[in-house]
Amino acid sequence: MKASVIGTDSFQSLHVELSPGERFYSEAGKMVRCSSGVDIEVTLQKKGGGFMGALKRLLSSDSFFYSRYTAQGTGTSEVVIAPTMMGNVRVLELKGDETWITSGGSYLASGPEITSEAKWQGLGAGLLSGESLMFVHNRGIGFLAVEAFGTIHEVDVNGEFVVDTGHLVAFESSLSFTVGKVGGSWIKSFFSGEGFVMNFKGTGKLLMQSHNGSSFGGLLGPLLPKRRS
């Protein structure tokens, strides 16, 4: 199995090469194209999944379902998976001794031995951050692909670091965080328009996206006709 990023900066996609019998998972409904020998099945189940797992995933802004791609036939098969927004894809190779936490629908795809479990990010933190209530904890051996809106920026945190909740893509579980405001009082934070931020602490890698999907949605949503429900 070989997972790589293809395409130009603005429109990157994930390309996965499969040998016969190999399989991987993506968020449901994200496939662009594939070899004809690939069996595609939509499933609730993934390692560490199940119905409750699926329910929790919904609260993490990810899809309720996974698509499972299994290569059949004799030759090498390919599958291409695309993100929703314009922007980058990053492939992380997990060795088994770390956990990557993905936020707000940034989980795109993963190898068969990766478990992805939605967990409460702490009730208060979730409600206050205005983002999803759940983060997805990914661990195991294999690849994990994340999607982003815009460019992905990586930071090696050693000490403290502050990220706006809408710009977070993924981080290593060696980092702890609290949800807070951008200095000053809560009221000041509200009027500054900065909303909520995550204060990270510890040592580990952090991936951020240049653009905030909720801000873009907030810009376009009011310009669109009202919806019934």
Partner 1 sequence: MNYQILAPGTFSALQVSLDPGDKILTEAGTMAWMDPSIQVKTSSGGLMAGLRRAVLRGDSFFQNEYTSTAQGGKITLVAGQPGEIKAMELRGAPVILERGAYLAHTPGVSVDAKFNGLKGFFAEGLFVVYATGEGTLFYNAYGDILEVDVQGDYIVDNGYAVAWESSLNYTVTRTGRKIRTFLFGDGLVIRFSGHGKVWVQSRSAFSLANFMHPFRAIESKNS
Residues near partner 1 (CB under 8 A): 6-13, 28-38, 40-42, 63-65, 67, 80, 82-86, 213-214, 217-218, 220-222, 224-229
Distance CA 156, CA 179 (A): 20
Distance CA 145, CA 97 (A): 17
> Closer to partner 1 at the Cβ: 67 or 103?
67
> Closer to partner 1 at the Cβ: 8 or 158?
8
Report in angstroms how near the CB of residue 112 gets to partner 1 at its nearest.
Answer: 18
Instruction: Kindly state the DSSP code that residue 46 receives in the 8-state scheme.
Output: -
Distance CA 46, CA 48 (A): 6
> Closer to partner 1 at the Cβ: 185 or 229?
229
> Closer to partner 1 at the Cβ: 184 or 217?
217
Structure tokens at 25: 């998972």
Report in angstroms how near the CB of residue 36 gets to partner 1 at its nearest.
Answer: 3
Distance CA 180, CA 128 (A): 8
In contact, 95 and 79? CB cutoff 8 Å: no
Report in angstroms how near the CB of residue 76 gets to partner 1 at its nearest.
Answer: 13
In contact, 168 and 91? CB cutoff 8 Å: no
Sign of the dihedral through C-alpha 178, 125, 218, 169: positive
> Closer to partner 1 at the Cβ: 15 or 139?
15
Report in angstroms how near the CB of residue 200 gets to partner 1 at its nearest.
Answer: 27
Report in angstroms how near the CB of residue 202 gets to partner 1 at its nearest.
Answer: 32
Report in angstroms how near the CB of residue 120 gets to partner 1 at its nearest.
Answer: 21
Distance CA 130, CA 58 (A): 15
What phi and psi, each to the nearest 5 degrees, are found at residue 127? -65, -40
**What's the gap between Cα 104 and its chain centre?**
6
What phi and psi, each to the nearest 5 degrees, are found at residue 187? -65, -40
> Closer to partner 1 at the Cβ: 94 or 169?
169
